Amino acid sequence: MTEIVKASLENGIQKIRITAEKGYHPAHIQLQKGIPAEITFHRATPSNCYKEILFEEEGILEPIGVDEEKVIRFTPQELGKHEFSCGMKMQKGSYTVVEKTRKSLSLLQRFWITSIFTVPLVILMIGMLTGSISHQVMHWGTFLATTPIMLVAGGPYIQSAWASFKKHNANMDTLVALGTLVAYLYSLVALFAGLPVYFESAGFILFFVLLGAVFEEKMRKNTSQAVEKLLDLQAKTAEVLRDDSYVQVPLDQVKVGDLIRVRPGEKIAVDGVVVEGVSSIDESMVTGESLPVDKTVGDTVIGSTINNSGTLIFRAEKVGSETVLAQIVDFVKKAQTSRAPIQDLTDKISGIFVPAVVILGIVTFWVWFVLLRDSVVVLGASFVSSLLYGVAVLIIACPCALGLATPTALMVGTGRSAKMGVLLKNGTVLQEIQKVQTIVFDKTGTLTEGKPVVTDIIGDETEVLGLAASLEEASQHPLAEAVVKRASEAGLEFQTVENFQALHGKGVSGQIAGKQVLLGNAKMLDSMDISSAYQEKLEELEKEAKTVVFLAVDNEIKGLLALQDIPKGNAKLAISQLKKRGLKTVMLTGDNAGVARAIADQIGIEEVIAGVLPEEKAHEIHKLQEAGKVAFVGDGINDAPALSVADVGIAMGAGTDIAIESADLVLTTNNLLGVVRAFDMSKKTFNRILLNLFWAFIYNVVGIPIAAGVFSGVGLALNPELAGLAMAFSSVSVLTSSLLLNFSKID
């Protein structure tokens, strides 16, 4: 029989749990549109057909082992019935997406409402302590201020605790609900019985818990828009041949076999093969190739790359989901949706801690009311006193400080990191980065400047550079830009060029002062003799993976120019600092092996993986992950899949939007030393979280025995009111500890 599972709304998230016992039983799930959903699959027993979870429409494919839990997260958007499967596709479940049933208050709205009503609680407490407010005013005032807090803030925690109880589970919400509900209900009875009330304890508990939740929510607001950013890179239209003329049509109307015209400066719409024209294409953001690629008839072109110089006509070969960009989109979508955040440390202990505290509270009441009722007078306790001891235990154990320990440290740590040019996009990176053993770098734009510069001039520098720049001034090639820039920096004057010609795949030529001047590669020098000196220099420069061009005047070679995409100024220092911290460094690039190895040798990187296609980068990361946790640093579209699948993705701030969106961590200053600072800051922040958790637990360890009345015989007792104050003080100490993170030394 098909199991009907309805999602329960907990703190703005639809939560469902499916347990597989004696194999998998398909489930029918009901979800509300537009509300984030968390479906927890628990594989309790072995089954041959329950090895993976597939939500195909959401791009989710997750393996699941025996006695393992897997949380599937997505936000349902499409109304109606949808399918998912576990293991074999015949084992199908389904879920129906319906419209939201009712509008509930957001976390922030609940926090601000709670804050407004907490203010009178503070005023009343101060008034009571100073003697300016009577007990009667205090009692009724705290009742009136706490009741809205219980309705607005306490309601969701009570619902969550009840839902967990029905499933025989306990979480931190259970403690919050119990502590506040017992304190409130007891105080309600006490209000009419003329006994002391403790409404403010419930109010303060909820305020501090919500404060922690708000901090945490702020960390989670950086929801990835990677897929949308990628899709924005696509050309929106294409100039397609229709009825003997080229017309603009929407991208979705382009079909395989269409002839498409693309002009200089325009994006190539889809993948295809050139049938007419010559040009150079900037493919760096897709392939990682640092220099533009020359294209002529018969060459392939990739959708979303940029046509630099000439007009091309190409035949569409791959459209829609078949293009390289679409495949990258799909890969990023699957990678991001399948990677679940690390379970928080407080959640791990809640399963033991919460039931233990509840039992302890009940035992405390029972011991005082039953066992010690008729004992020595000093120890004897009435029903009210026994109940107060039990309530005090629940309140002192309430995890306000625990709830603040992680998010406050994250807030301070991320804030300080941002000032240093390191933007941490989520909290999980802080836990993951502790375990990283290998750090992998993209080359172009990450380790290097991303554009070529003139590195060597052989011959008379003024003559060679002056003539070369004069020729190249009329060219649009990126190599030309590098030559012109170098000449401008040297203060050289440009001469007039006549009969300028661009020879595709070879170079440029023209007449300067009546002389024929050529600038280009060896293909231009077929009829010229290259001296042994120039030949030796050529071989030497090519071994260094530099692009070499010759300058010839009237068929006589006058000199050489060498160009290269050079390493960033701080790359070598950053690599050495990472090595000092025990990290292995790897270069992963789409560029050729010679160029990659030359750059790696200059900056001290040990391992090089070159000539890798975008979709292969993620595969290479997976291979490296077999040996341990991996961080990846990149900047281009081609890096997005690798950034998504790496344990920690680090993007350069000057990179593409998609790279930044796919990453966990962004270097806003584009400084590679930021990687080092990121590792150091993350370590200090994580250590601070552990310290905060220690302080939070210390209060519980010390406070619970006092609250339980263990030391009442020597006059040391903790009523619910004092327990509430102690709980508040523990929260303040955790906040202070987090703020001190601002003063930690970072190199």
Tell the residue number behind the tokens 């190739």, with chain if given: 289
6 close to 31: Cβ distance less than 8 angstroms: no
Structure letter (DSSP) for residue 613 = -
Three-class secondary structure of residue 237 per DSSP: strand
d(CA 302, CA 267): 10
Tell the residue number behind the tokens 């235990």, with chain if given: 393
Helices (H), 443-559: 461-472, 478-489, 532-543
Q: What would the 3-class secondary structure string for 268-331 be?
A: CCCEEEEEECCEEEECHHHHCCCCCEEECCCCEECCCCEECCCCEEEEEEECHHHCHHHHHHHH
- How far is Cα of residue 143 from the mean position of the Cα atoms in its chain? 44
Of 442, 565, 591, 680, the active-site residue reads 442
Structure letter (DSSP) for residue 367 = I
Residues 333-370 as b/e (b if ≥16 CB within 10 A, e otherwise) read bbbbbbbeeeebebeebbeebbeebbebbeebbebbbe
CB atoms closer than 10 angstroms to residue 578: 23
442 is catalytic: yes
- Cα atoms found within 13 Å of the Cα of residue 677, Cβ hemisphere only: 25
Helices (H), 131-235: 135-149, 155-166, 172-193, 199-220, 226-232
Q: Which of 359, 392, 292, 331 is nearest to 716 (CA)?
A: 392
Token readout for 11 is: 């703190």
d(CA 96, CA 28): 8
d(CA 25, CA 716): 56
d(CA 310, CA 296): 10
410 close to 664: Cβ distance less than 8 angstroms: no
d(CA 17, CA 84): 15
Residues 86-108 as b/e (b if ≥16 CB within 10 A, e otherwise) read bbeeebebebebeeeeeeeeebe
The strand pairing partners of 632, in sequence order, are 440, 649
d(CA 552, CA 563): 17
- 128 residue type, one letter: M
Q: Which of 198, 199, 265 is nearest to 235 (CA)?
A: 265
Tell the residue number behind the tokens 């807090």, with chain if given: 149
Q: Which of 440, 261, 135 is nearest to 127 (CA)?
A: 135
Token readout for 496 is: 């007039």
Dihedral sign (CA 363, 366, 367, 368): positive
As annotated, the active-site residues are 442
